[in-house]
Structure 1
Amino acid sequence: MPQNYRIYINDNTLFVSDLLPKRGENIQSIDVQGFDFKTFYKNLDKDAAEKYILIAEDPKQLFRRIRQSCELIKAAGGLVKSAKGNYLFIYRNKRWDLPKGKTEKGERMKEAAVREVEEECGVKIQRNDGKICRTYHVYPLNNKLVLKKTNWYAMTVKGEPKLVPQKEEGITKAVWLDDTSLGPVFKNTYPSIVQVLEEGGMI
């Protein structure tokens, strides 16, 4: 089974894999020899939306090396489905997103995911249906590079409750959308959210 990691930097994606993807995507290959993640990050056009790939015999080891060059922050979030079959989306920082947030000390990822969804959208989660995937996102914080590891879970609620966006978290809208109304989301969201929707079976 191929090993494949994706690291998101703004709208750019860095794949760490043992083989090239089968899809005919425009991906720039990077030489693994002498690769330094901090140098790569510094030279990257953060306003672009490019795809890069590092091909390695042992992607896990290479990814671990990248992870060790950053400060790790753990977060968790949810793809929530209502009893009517619609999905919960939020609008934050001028983009469509899914509810998520950092874990608290001693908190399990699964528990953090439910808490964050309930806090950010004012709903009660009936059931956590298991992990969908994990995403990695790199950004600068206090002169350091942070690697945010987010575990994403499928969740369900009873009925289709009214949503209350947590304004103090910068959330201006929280809405239920059916899977035929996601065009505006795909046009204005993050690559990591597209990955969650892909692995959650919505694409």
Structure 2
Amino acid sequence: MYKVFVNDKPLFLTNEIVKETDFQMFLLESIDIEQLIVKMFSGKISKAYLYYPDEKEILKKLKEKIPVQKAGGGLVYNKHGEVLFIFRNGKWDLPKGGIEKGEEIENTALREVEEETGVSKLTLGRKLQKTYHIFKRNGRYKLKITHWFEMHTTFAGQLHPQEDEGIEKVAWLKPDEIQQALTNSYENIKLLFEPEKQYE
């Protein structure tokens, strides 16, 4: 099952028929995806399931219906075990950005972290999960697939928010501050802190 966020509301891609209770279920083959997205953006639908029988093909089917933008981002730790966060549009987020032509996704993630925060001396760690969300740009909906990587740095210099990208501040957050920041963040960012429950 995949979890795609539409305006922070979950859209599940599933190959199982689930009994509807607090959500609506649609057939991926026949759904007008734009209509569904519009309803989720406007709040008419707060949770939906898209059904397709073949789980291996399900994401491919969605990609046929909506353009995809690939992005890379970093969950960056410094030597004190603090995590690098950015603050943009009134919410805490992690540094990430779109892939450039001919670029490897690992390089996208490293470049974007450095551009958005001013942090250098980054080393790439393990690949984390991908996150999926739908956004609107120039009147068109797109599916953003972000590839996340754990990163480490010994950088101890000044942090520089990339203001032309709307980033108001950059901060190293201690483990106990992270939970507080996540209460004012995005659902797909929270997912990156869930699997190992490292801050409980």
Q: Quickly name the TM-score band, shorter chain normalised.
A: 0.7 to 0.9
In structure 1, the residue matched to 2:26 is: 31
CA separation in 2, counterparts of 1:15 and 1:190?
16
Q: 1:92 to 1:45 in 2, by over 3 A?
A: closer
Unpaired runs of 5+ in structure 1? none
Q: Secondary structure at the match of 2:161?
A: coil
Match of 1:178 among 174, 178, 188: 174
What amino acid does structure 2 have at the position aligned with 1:18? N
Residue 143 (structure 1) aligned with residue 118 (structure 2) = no
Instruction: Give the alignment's TM-score, normalised by structure 1.
Output: 0.85
Instruction: Give the alignment's TM-score, normalised by structure 2.
Output: 0.86
CA deviation string 1:78-119 (max 9, x = no partner): 000010111011101111000011111100110010010011
In structure 1, the residue matched to 2:13 is: 16
CA separation in 2, counterparts of 1:105 and 1:153?
20
Shift of 1:159: 5.4
CA separation in 1, counterparts of 2:142 and 2:100?
17
CA deviation string 1:99-148 (max 9, x = no partner): 01111110011001001001111111431002101111112223322111
CA deviation string 1:24-43 (max 9, x = no partner): xx851403273332221122
Unpaired runs of 5+ in structure 2? none
Q: 1:152 to 1:31 in 2, by over 3 A?
A: same
Shift of 1:8: 1.0
Match of 1:77 among 73, 76, 80: 73
Q: CA RMSD in A?
A: 2.4
Match of 1:106 among 99, 102, 105: 102
Q: How many residues align?
A: 196
Q: Work out whether residues 40 and 46 of structure 2, in 8 Å CA contact, stay in contact via their aligned partners in 1.
A: no
In structure 1, the residue matched to 2:87 is: 91
